[in-house]
Each structure stands twice: as structure tokens, then as C-alpha cells.
Structure 1
């Protein structure tokens, strides 16, 4: 992997990742940009102890631009974008409209491919491996920043999720605090260790592999399964068989196997809901894909894993977080986990 550092016109960092060691990425950013001026605030909710980020400047961020004005496509034919190069493989840059900035963390955008109409599932295994390498690099770099407690790599896909840019991309947040879900998982794992002497995530993986009816697919080093108490209609957790705290600790065998398995999962999701009038073709399924990694402090029991889920529950119905979910965080799932796993197993048949 070749890593090339660059600067955008307003001083933000841009990083190119290439499989070709001879790739040259030296095109300058010719846009007349002012320096980014964002001052998000962190406020603690006294009733729950959760940190809330106030980022009112994000109201002005780019919203559903036409394909010809996409800021994540390469700069070509006189159209200047966030990527000055005329082509790229994977590009990462500081978000121009960050939720976290300065002393309150950092937000980065990860462009998976220069192809505007593609999706992650359309990548080759080699291209998906390059994205994994980029995630790993950024996890290492951002974890070392002063004040960063947790690095969170994720992808939002689809208008139903709230995505404002159609180009295939993800994001990375470097939080100055431990997020609420991570804190809950850490507390549960600590309690499980105290009660059993074992690691919670190792037991969850072992239980799923033993039950088999919740396993979607598996390899030599990874298993994808629907959790016993899934919150979302179709939710899959992907775990390495060897417990590690974060992406930087995966070995080469685990890294080599991941792309094929992950691409297989994404393609299964895309075949869950046929396109109306075109039942033979896959429907792009909206999803959130997120890496859960151990925080800098207090995360000894947390295990690296990826959680992939969709808000779609039928071809024409979405799972809305209404009264119970939004009001009390008490989830109600309309699809049995075992049935969801069966459908995903059969999706590529």
C-alpha cells in the first residue's frame, strides 16, 4: 500500500491510499476556499451522563447535489471537487462540516472508489482490502491524537438512512469520549467476566457458531451471525475468531480473508428486497455498517467486530424508531433473528 499526504486549499488534510506503489497524486487543490470555521460543543446530559455534540454549522453542508456536482468524485473536465486528483483508489480527508473538530475530536470522510454510481459491494476484493488498510491506518493515527478516546469507522448507505451524498463513502469519527453503546458493551463485558471468568464476546461468538441457525456465513478466520437479541430487522455481526481490540491488531490471514466475506455479506443484503418490476435484480438495500473497537481506556474486555444492519423490514416498509425505541431505547423487532439469518443464507442461492 502506498500512502500519499496532501493538503486541500483550506488547509484540511487529504490522504490517498493506492495499491500501485508508482501512483502519483500531486494535483493541487485550485479552489478558492476559506479556512474551515467550525466550533462544535460537547454538552453532557445530566439525566443520563451521555455526551451530546452541538454542531449547528452542519445545517449548511452539501445536500443531495446532482451527479455532475458531486464533491467526492475526482476533479475532472474543469470541475473541481474535494479530491484534486483526476483519479484515485481510496481517498480520506478531513470533513469540511465536522461534528467534531479541534479540541473535540476529528471527523474524516473515506471515499471507497472514484466510481460515482458504484457501491461498496461492487468493489473487487483487492479494492475492499485497500479500504480495510485505510481504516486500519486511520485507526492507528487517530488513536494517537491527544484527547481521543475512541475511533469509530462506519458507512451510512441510502437516502433512507439520511445520506446526503450518493457517492460511495464512509466516515471516521475520533471521539474525545467513550460513546454510550460502547460504554454499555464494556460494562456488560466487565460484568460477564466477573460472573463467569470468561470474555463476553468470545462467548457470544461461540454460542452463535454452536447454534448454527443464526450463522449467515463463515470462513477460517471470521464468522457472520445474527445476534440472539437483534434490534434491527436484518442485523449481522461479523467477528474475527481471534479476539483483538481493534483493526490494528488483525493479522495478515485475518486481513486477507475479510474482503471476500464482507463483500459476500453486502451482496446478500442487496438481494433481500427485489426491485419492483425487476424481481430478478438486486435492490440496493439501505444499511449502516460500523466497526466497534475498544476505546483507549477501560476497553480491555471489548472485542473488535463489525455490525451491519438495515432499517428496511419489507420491500416497502422501514423500521422507524418511534415511541419505544426513540423514547425509551427499548427496541421491538418484527423479524425473528433465526428467520433473518435463514433469509440471508438463501439470498445468494
Structure 2
């Protein structure tokens, strides 16, 4: 377990060979279910230290394979599993808003606690849902990675938000929210605290963003009303995904918050959630092929003005099914 420096991208690769030993979609003896001996007999949501972490508070020394060019360093950080429910099959759209609020509270508490460690530079809260994105444990859960280095994509996003603020004096995500509301056709839903839309530029046909309406940089700045609003729109949007093709909808969901123990970004950064759903049709995946992976040259096979209309209709079906 170590970090290896990539001089071409000025980035670090996590090497975690221990993760090959993690269980693969167990049908019985789920460690996250009550009765396993690994979690409490009764819980609503729960933090569980990852048994197969890619990052550790006290990692072993790197292998002696580095050089002046090929640097290595210890894989310092933390990997946690966040259990959404004791129910082995419940997913976000099947949980009540009040339960999802407890999940948001746990996310917030872990963000605040992990922020205290001076080794941590960025705390990433995320969920992988579905075998199509490599999920190995079916019990509903997400994860948290606390990195000791700034991830390249997040660093790029921060840089461009700062550059936009220096050029215009305004927050880039605030301006995006205003632009999407003015255009209207890519908006899927909104409530008092949050907007959900397929942004103009997303490279996934259903690459949803959920953004706070108020300018804030992290979960710990949400009011009680905003936590409820976030829980509600998370439930509705994941429910809309499932209604889209009338099947459990795979996705990757990532919370983008301010970095920790670093520069002040309060003026120019903005809390939001990004979804990367791999389906382009009910039985067809949108692959990240050679140009996307090799050149980061994103290509969306659909215009989001069209897919937004489909997702809005799916959202309406979910609301009607719920009796709303």
C-alpha cells in the first residue's frame, strides 16, 4: 500500500493490492447486516472502517522501488464505509426523507471529524451503485476517502472556480445555477434549498448535478431546512433514475465540498453533488472509451436537452407513484 507519483500529470496513484481480497457480492453472511457481529444489532445509519482500505492513518512504508523520478510516499489517509440502512436491499429512493436526513447528518459529522486531521487535504464522500460500476457489496452503502493529497480533478475544478471569480467577481457554480434556471430546459427539479439539472456540458447522458441554491462550501454549513431539502431532492432524483428505464439505475455519486487544511475557498467554491450514471439506454452503457480515457476528450452521445426531458418525466412518475 503506497502512493506512486505520476510525473506526466503531477498526480499520485494509490496502490492498494490488499483490495483484491475484498468479498465479491456475497449472497449470505453480509457483514453490514445486523447479526453479523461486525455492526450493531440496531442502527439507522452507521460508520464502518473499511476492512480493505486504500489509505490508512498509519500505513506501512512504501516498497523500495522508487527513484528520483518515480517517487513514492506512504498512503496516508482514511477510508470509511457509510451504511445507509440495516435493510440489506433498501436504497436511497426507498428510504424516507427523515432517514436520509440521518445519513446527511452522519456525512456531516464524519466530514467535520476527518477535517481535524492535519494530514488530510480533501475529504470525498461518494456512492457507487450497481454492478455496472464495480460494486462488490450489495448492502446499501457509500464511502468516504480522506486524501493526504489533492485529487487531480478536484484541484482542476478549484483552479477554474478561482479563475472565474478573479475574472468576474462571482462564484462559478452560482453563475451556472443562474444560467440553468434562465434556460430552464435542463432543470429536472428544485426545492427551496437545491436545484437538480443536467448541466450544459455534462459528458454523461444523465449526468445530473444537485447544487445548493445558497452559496456555501460544505455540508456543515447547511441549515436544518436545507438538510431536509437535500434529503428530499436526493430521494426524488435517485427515484427518478429508477423510473427512467424501470430498473435499478446504476450510478456513481460524488459530493464536491471545500478542501480541508488548505486555502480559503469560501468566496469562489460551491457545494454540489455530481452523478456519473453509465446507462445511455435501458440495456446500453455509455463507455469511457479511448478518447475519453486517453485524452480526457469527453463525448456525450445524447444532447442533454433531450435526456433532461426524459428524466423530468421519470421524476414526475416517481412523484405520482409516491402519491405526491
Pair 53,124 (structure 1): closer, same or farther in 2 beyond 3 Å = same
**Match for residue 43 of structure 1?**
4
The C-alpha deviation readout for 1:216-236, integer Å capped at 9, x for no partner, is: 001111111111101112111
Q: Is the CA contact 1:186–1:299 (under 8 Å) kept in the aligned structure 2?
A: no
Offset of residue 299 of structure 1: 5.4
CA distance in 2, matches of 1:93, 1:109: 5
Deviation for aligned residue 1:319 = 1.2
SS in 1 for 2:306: helix
**Match in the other structure for 2:280:** 313
**Residue number in structure 2 paired with 1:22:** none
Q: Distance in 2 between matches of 1:82 and 1:50?
A: 35
CA distance in 1, matches of 2:15, 2:51: 16
**Secondary structure in structure 2 of the residue aligned to 1:110:** strand
**2:300 counterpart of 1:340:** no
In the TM superposition, residue 112 of structure 1 has moved relative to its aligned partner by 0.3
Q: Is the 8 A contact 2:97 2:228 kept in 1?
A: no
Distance 2:177 2:5 in 1: 34
Distance in 2 separating the partners of 1:203 and 1:298: 22
User: Given that residues 49 and 80 in structure 2 are in contact (C-alpha distance below 8 angstroms), is that contact kept between their aligned partners in structure 1?
Assistant: yes
Runs of 4+ in structure 1 displaced over 4 angstroms?
A: none
Aligned residues: CA RMSD: 1.1
Q: Hey, what does 2:50 align to over in structure 1? A: 95
Residue in structure 2 matched with residue 267 of structure 1 by the alignment: 239
Matched, 1:116 2:88: yes
Query: Which residue pairs with 2:263 in the alignment?
Result: 298
TM-score (norm 2): 0.89
CA distance in 2, matches of 1:221, 1:88: 28
1:203 maps to which of 169, 175, 190:
175
- Long gaps (5+) in structure 1: 1-39, 274-281
- Return closer, same or farther for 1:299/1:328 CA change in 2, 3 Å cut-off: farther
Which has the bigger relative contact order, CA under 8 A and spacing at least 6? 2
Unaligned 5+ segments in structure 2 are 59-75, 318-324
Q: Aligned equivalents of 1:234 and 1:309: distance in 2?
A: 8
Aligned residues: 296
- 2:24 and 2:253 map into 1 onto residues whose CA distance is 21
Whole-angstrom distance in 1 between the partners of 2:294 and 2:38? 38
Match of 1:82 among 27, 31, 38: 38
Whole-angstrom CA distance in 2 between matches of 1:306 and 1:118 = 21
- 29, 41, 44: which is aligned to 1:69? 29
Deviation at 1:86, TM superposition (A): 2.1
TM-score normalised by the chain length of structure 1: 0.83
